[in-house]
Amino acid sequence: MSTSDAPERRTGVTRRAVLTAGGVAAVGAVVASTHGAGASTDSASSIPFFGKHQGGIVTPAQGHLALGIFNVAASDRQELKRMLADWGRAAQRLTVGLPLVETYDGSYPPSDTGEALGLGAANLTLTFGYGPSLFNDRFGLSSRRPKVLVDLPAFDGDELNPAFTAGDLCVQACADDPQVAFHAIRSLARLGLGTVELQSLQLGSGRTSATSSEQRSARNLLGFKDGTNNLRGGDSALLKRWLWVGARDDQQWMTGGTYLVARRIQMNLSTWSSTPLKVQESVIGRKRSSGAPLTGEREHDKANFEALDPHGFPVIPLGAHIRVAAPETNGGVHLLRRGYNFIDGVDERTGNLNAGLLFLCFQRDPVKQFTALQGDLARSDNLSQYVTHVGSGVFACPPGLGSNDELGASLFD
Amino acid sequence: MSTSDAPERRTGVTRRAVLTAGGVAAVGAVVASTHGAGASTDSASSIPFFGKHQGGIVTPAQGHLALGIFNVAASDRQELKRMLADWGRAAQRLTVGLPLVETYDGSYPPSDTGEALGLGAANLTLTFGYGPSLFNDRFGLSSRRPKVLVDLPAFDGDELNPAFTAGDLCVQACADDPQVAFHAIRSLARLGLGTVELQSLQLGSGRTSATSSEQRSARNLLGFKDGTNNLRGGDSALLKRWLWVGARDDQQWMTGGTYLVARRIQMNLSTWSSTPLKVQESVIGRKRSSGAPLTGEREHDKANFEALDPHGFPVIPLGAHIRVAAPETNGGVHLLRRGYNFIDGVDERTGNLNAGLLFLCFQRDPVKQFTALQGDLARSDNLSQYVTHVGSGVFACPPGLGSNDELGASLFD
C-alpha cells in the first residue's frame, strides 16, 4: 500500500492547527475526500462506509475492538461541527485502508501516525454515537435530543468507574487487526486535538457475539458460549422491530439509526473458576461444552423453561441467566449484542485478573430494551454474583451517510 | 474439538488441592501425558512442543503475546519441582489445542477454564524462563545459577515499575489468537495456585520483529518498521554464535538454552507524533515509508554510516537509533528480537495513551549482549527522548524438552 495519495486526488482539503504536548504545532492534518480512493486497496477486506446504516452494527463481528469515548472540550458549535465533518472524511479513508494524507513537507509532523501502514483496511468499521451530555446547552442541541437518549439509571450492584462511564461522543472501531482498530481511534483523537479529549480507550478481542448466521458462537471468559440467541444481520423483520429507529419514533435525524449501550462488565474469574461445573451450568442455564440449554442437546435447541426435574424443580433454574434474559420473559425484547472480551492484566490491589466483557448492544429504544432488561437482570440473575458492571454509556448512533453527506451535519442543520 | 479426553489416554495423572479465592477447593486439575494427544487437532496450526530448543524463540513470530511473570510463594523445593513438571505437561496439551483434562464429576470446578475451547492450537508456543531470584537460597538452587543470570543494572533514564520488573519465573505465550495465549497463562496460573502468584500479565499484539525470512517487517507504534536487521530463524551460524548457549559456556543444564530480556518501553506518543517527519526519520536513521536507511532506497539496503551530506555532516546522525544499535558499532553484537506493541488505554493521570513496546529479545549472554548494548543506547540514542523503560527482567530459558523429560527437572537433578 502506498503511504501517500496522488495530489490530484486531494479535494476538500482542510488544515487544522492543533495543540500538542509540545505546544502548538501545525500538524497539517490533511483529510482528503475519498471519491475513488479505494481503488488501490483490497476491497475484499473492506466494509463500505457509506450506506443506509452505519457499519459495525450488523456487520459480521470482526475479531478486535477499540472503543474510544470522547468529551468535547470546545464550547463552539461550529468547531464541533467542523471536527465531526473531519472525522467523517477521515473515516472514509481509514475504512478503505488509506492513511490520512501525508504531509509532503517533512518539516511538519506527519498527518498519519503510520502504525497501520501496510495493514490494509482489515474490514475496519467506525461507528459513531452521541451521548446524552452532547445535547445539554453547550452546543444549542437540546431541541435535537431524542427522548430515549437519557443517562442509564443506576442498577443494583453497579460500581461505575467514571473513566468508563458516560461521555459526549463514542467511536466503536472494529477490525480484523487490533492495530488497525487502534490506529483509527488514535487518528480521530489527533484530528480532534483541542476540540475533544479522549476519556478512555478500551480494547477487546475474542468477539463474544455472532452477528451473522455464518458466524459460530464464541466463548466469553467464563468459558461459556455467548450470544447464542443474538439477533443476526439477516433477521430483517426483527431488526426492523428491535434495532433500527423508525421514521415516526422521534427525532427525524435518527431515522435509520440505533442506540448503543456500552457496559464494562468485570468478571470475578477466580471465584467463577472455583465454582463446580454443575453450579456454573445452572447459573447460566446452558451446558458448557455444547452450549445447549439444560433442557436440550444442541446449542440452538430452544430452551424449555417449563421443564421440571424429577423432584419438581425447574430444570433451568428461576435465576438462570438465560431465563432472566430471554425475550420470552421480557415481553419479547431483543437486543443486537456485539460484545468483546477484555483483559487488562493483573489488578495490583487484589492480585486478581482485571478482565471481563465489554458488553455492547444496539437497539431501537434503550429505555424499553436495555434498561428494562438490565433492571430484571440486576435483581434476579444468578450470574450477578460473579460480575460487576464498572462502566456504562448510552449513545445515539445516527444512520449511515450518503456519499455527499458530512458526519454530524444532520445534528446541526 | 472435543472438550474432554478419552479416559484411556490419561496417564501420569496428578491431582492438586489448590487454594482459591473462595477457600480451599479440590479443583481436580488433572493433567495427562500427551503421547498421541495431538491426533484430534489441526496439526497445521500447531508448533511442536518437544525439541532441541524451546518454541517461541526462532518460531516465526505469531501475532499475539501474553507474557506472565510469576513469583514463587512456596518455600518447598519439591513443591516447586512438582509444579514445573505439571506446567510442562499442561504445555504439551495446550500447544496442541487440547484443554486441560475435564473433570467428569460436575461437583468439582472444571479443570479447564474453557474460554479457548474450539479455538485450536493457533500456533501457541510457551517459553519458560527462570529469573535470578529463583537461584537465591530458598530452593537450594544457588549452585545452579548461570554466572550471566544477574539482575540487569540500572540504565540511564529507567523508571521501573515493580509490577513489570524482575520475577522468579516467566512464561511467554505467543499465538495467532489472543484468547489462546491468555488462556495458556491463566491455566498455568491456576495450576500453580498456592505455589506461585501471578505478578503481572502483559498483552501485546502487532509483532514488531520478524523472526523468519518469510515474514515482512511490521511497524511499531512510532509508525516505523521495526526489526529490519533482526536475526532470523534461518541464520544458523549467527544463531549458534549469538543465540544458543554452548556446552562450554557455563551451567550444563543451559546448553541449547538462551536468555530472555524483557523490557516494557513506554512511548511518549503525543510528543513523537508532534515531531516533524524529517526529525523522526533522523532520530531513527530510516525513512518512514520504505524503512530504508537514510543512505539507501530499500528497506534491506545496508546502512552507510560513513556517508556525509553536502555540509559534511553524517547522513545518518551520530545519535540515530540504527547507528547506536547497529552490530557494527557494538562489536558485532546481535540479538534475536521478538517484540510486540502494547496498548493499555488512557493514563488517567496524564490523559496520554499508555502504550509502547514490549521489547523481548533472546541471546546467549545477556551481560555481553543486551546490557552492553542498552548501556550505549541509554547514553546516546536520540530515541531515548521519546521512550521510557518502565519494566525489566532477565530470565534463563532452558533448552527444549525430550518427550520423556519433565520441565524443570534439569534444574534439580
Per residue in A70-82, pLDDT (tens digit) is 999 988 999 999 9
Cα–Cα distances in angstroms (integers) from residue A37 to residues A90, A100, A291, A408, in the given order: 12, 11, 44, 22
Q: Which of B342, B111, B11 is nearest to A273 (CA)?
A: B111
pLDDT for position B105: 78
CA pair distance B73, B196, nearest whole angstrom = 5
**A269: which chain B residues are within 8 Å (Cβ-Cβ)?**
113, 186
Distance CA B319, CA B325 (A): 10
Q: Which of B109, B199, B268 shows the shortest C-beta gap to A273? A: B109
Please report the residues numbered 172 through 191 in chain B whose beta carbons come closer than 8 angstroms to any beta carbon of chain A. 177-179, 182, 186, 190
Take residue B36 and report the three cell numbers written for it: 498421541
Bridge partners (DSSP) of residue B18 are: B25
User: Amino acid letter at B60?
Assistant: P
Q: In the beta sheet, which residues pair with residue A260? A: A362, A395
- DSSP 3-state assignment of B196? strand
DSSP assignment of A85-127: HHHHHHHHHHTTTPPSBPPSSTTS--SS--TTTTS--TT-EEE
Task: Give the global pTM.
Answer: 0.90
**Model confidence at B21: pLDDT above 90:** no
Q: Count Cβ atoms within 10 A of the Cβ of residue A332 and give its class: 0-12 exposed, 13-18 middle, 19 or more buried.
A: exposed
What residues in B contact A344, CB-CB < 8 Å?
Answer: 344-345
Q: Which residues of B touch A342 (CB under 8 A)?
A: none
pLDDT band at A284 (very low <50, low <70, confident <90, very high): very high
Return the bridge partners of A358, or none.
A264, A340
Alpha carbon distances (Å) from B213 to B46, B76, B244, B287: 19, 45, 19, 21
Is pLDDT at A180 greater than 70 in this prediction? yes
Chain B, 338 to 367: residues with Cβ < 8 Å from chain A are: 341, 343-346, 348, 351-353
Is the minimum CB–CB distance between A162 and chain B shorter than 8 Å? no
Q: Check CB contact under 8 Å for A345 and B203.
A: yes
pLDDT of B387 strictly over 80: yes
Q: Tell whether B281 lies on the interface with A, counting CB pairs under 8 A.
A: yes
Is B392 within 8 Å of chain A by CB? no
Confidence (pLDDT) at A150: 98
CA distance A99 to A112: 6
Distance from CA of A205 to the nearest CA of B (A): 7
Torsions phi, psi for A286 (to 5 deg): -130, 160
Angle between helical axes of B77-94 and B178-191 (0-180°, round to 10): 150
Of B95, B153, B168, B121, the closest CA to residue B400 belongs to B95
- Report, as an integer, the average pLDDT of A233-259: 96
Alpha carbon distances (Å) from B233 to A10, A352, B54 = 44, 37, 13
- Checking ipTM against 0.85, whether it exceeds it is yes
Domain boundaries, chain B: 132-166+206-401
Whether A270 and chain B come into contact, CB under 8 Å, resolves to yes
Which of chain A's residues have a Cβ under 8 Å away from the Cβ of B179? Answer: 205-206, 219, 341
- pLDDT band for B137, please (50, 70, 90 cuts): confident
Cβ of residue A145 closer than 8 Å to a chain B Cβ: no
Question: How far B136 CA lies from chain A's nearest CA (Å)?
Answer: 24
- Among residues B349, B296, B225, B278, the alpha carbon closest in space to that of A104 is found at B278
Residues of A within 8 A of B353 (CB-CB) are: 186, 198, 201
- A contact test, residue of B271, B277, B349 with most A CBs within 10 A: B277
The pLDDT value given to residue A75: 83
Q: Band of the pLDDT at B348, cuts 50, 70, 90?
A: confident
Note which residues in 36-95 of chain B have CB less than 8 A from chain A.
Answer: none
In the predicted structure, residue A208 carries a pLDDT above the cut 90: no
Q: What's the mean pLDDT in A191-220? A: 93
The predicted model gives A21-45 an average pLDDT of: 37
The cell for B180 is 489462546
